[in-house]
Every structure is written in C-alpha cells, then in structure tokens.
Amino acid sequence: MTLSKTSIAVALTSVLALAACEPGPIGGNPNDPNANTRNGALIGAGTGAVIGALSKGDGNRAQGALAGAVAGGALGAGYGYSLDKQEADLRRQLDSDVIITNTGDRLIVTLPQDILFATDSTQVQAGMQNDLAALARNVNVYSNSTLQIVGHTDSDGEASYNQQLSEGRARAVANVLVSNGVPGSRIQSVGRGESQPVASNLNAAGKAQNRRVEIVILPNAA
C-alpha cells in the first residue's frame, strides 16, 4: 500500500487534534498513573510516522511511516513518563491554587494573577515567592526542558495597556525563576494581553480566570 503525503498529514493532524482537545489523559481514566505515558507515545508515534514517511520516496513511504511511528512512540512514551513524575512532584510542592495540566507532551502550570500580583502591578507578591522558588527547584531537577512564560489579562481597559501589562508580568515571573537558579537560556517570556481568554469577560468569575500567567514546560529532544 502506498501512503500519500496528504493521507499521512491528515493522520498526524487527527492525532494532534485529539491530544490538544484532551487536557488530561486521552480517552482514559484521569487517575491512571500511566495515562500520560500512553498519551506521549500516541503523539510521538503520529509525529514519527509522518517524519519517517516523508523522508522516503513514494515506494517506501509505508515502511518509513512504520519505522518513524515505532521510534517516535518510544520517544514520546519516555516524555510522558518523565512528565508524569514531574507533575506528581509539582503537585506536592505547589499551593493548591496553582493549576497543573499534563497534556502528555508538556506541562502547563497556571498561576492566577490575583494571587501573583496586586491590581495593575508587575511585582510578584511575597506570598507567591515560595511557590515560584519550588517550581524553579523542580525544573532544575528535570532540567531537559525549556519554559515558556505567558502572561494573560482580562478585557478591562485598553488592549494596548493589557498587552504591556501581560508582558511585564511574564517577565516578572521569569525573573523570579532566574533568581532561583533557572538559566535564562531556558526561558522565553511573552505577553498575550486579552487576546486568549479561557472564560467569558462578561462576569467577574470569568475575568478572574482570564487573568493568569502560564508556565509551559516543554521537554527537549534527546
């Protein structure tokens, strides 16, 4: 059977779309300790299949896809297992108000801005310094990763001001991590302003959810 580039790309898109739609384990028990290992394997296998297939000529695409899927699945499973361990450690170390999402290929640590900053401030509040120090220790133990620090606001006020505020808050969190020993070379900080809400901006509860800083922990390729 000959696999076309289009059919392979569609398969990969389907796998990644499924993974993206599931913030926790794909199609399984959220309390299953091995779920994210399987999730990582699924993502890795899909990606590896496409890379393997597209690296071959038309007559060898099926063989390349199979080899890529096996290699990618093994690598992805390793990522998932490591992330499961790192997630468990973070849950023991961080405050209960901090939200940790394990997608199988990354960890997303969400810090509500109302516990991070005073209104209109970019100075991290004293009460969050210990949590950020604990997070820094954790990512230094699990050092084969990069971090994206992403600031978000609600829609109150001017969009340009919210953009600047989100950038300043992301930098402030990044600076605390650096001061606790995380190499600056591992960190990228960006602000998204009010452009990526996760809830309605029409009520106070939704606005509170939208005011946040996300720390995305991305495993590096071996």
pLDDT in tens, 170-217: 999 999 999 999 999 999 999 999 999 999 999 999 999 999 999 999
In which element (H, E) is residue 214 found? strand 212-219
In which element (H, E) is residue 213 found? strand 212-219
With cut-offs at 50, 70 and 90, classify the pLDDT of residue 25.
very low
- Distance from C-alpha of 73 to C-alpha of 42, rounded to nearest angstrom: 6
Closest CA to 113 of 191, 18, 3, 181: 191
- Distance from C-alpha of 218 to C-alpha of 222, rounded to nearest angstrom: 12
For residue 202, the one-letter residue type is L
| pLDDT for residue 221 | 79
Residue 78 scores a pLDDT above 60: no
Token pair in block for residue 11: 């398969």
DSSP category for residue 212: E
Predicted structure pTM score: 0.67
Closest CA to 162 of 171, 170, 172, 152: 152
- Distance from C-alpha of 120 to C-alpha of 220, rounded to nearest angstrom: 35
| pLDDT for residue 13 | 52
- Distance from C-alpha of 211 to C-alpha of 116, rounded to nearest angstrom: 10
- Yes or no: say if 170 and 216 are a contact pair by the CB < 8 Å rule: no
| Residue showing tokens 């991305």 | 218
Strands (E), 70-194: 99-102, 107-112, 145-152, 187-191
195: helix, coil or strand?
A: coil
Span 29-40, pLDDT tens digits: 444 545 555 555
DSSP category for residue 155: S
Which DSSP string do the residues of 159-211 spell out, in sequence order? HHHHHHHHHHHHHHHHHHHHHTT--GGGEEEEE-TTSS-SS-SSSHHHHHHHS
CB-CB neighbours of 182 under 10 Å: 21
| pLDDT for residue 138 | 97
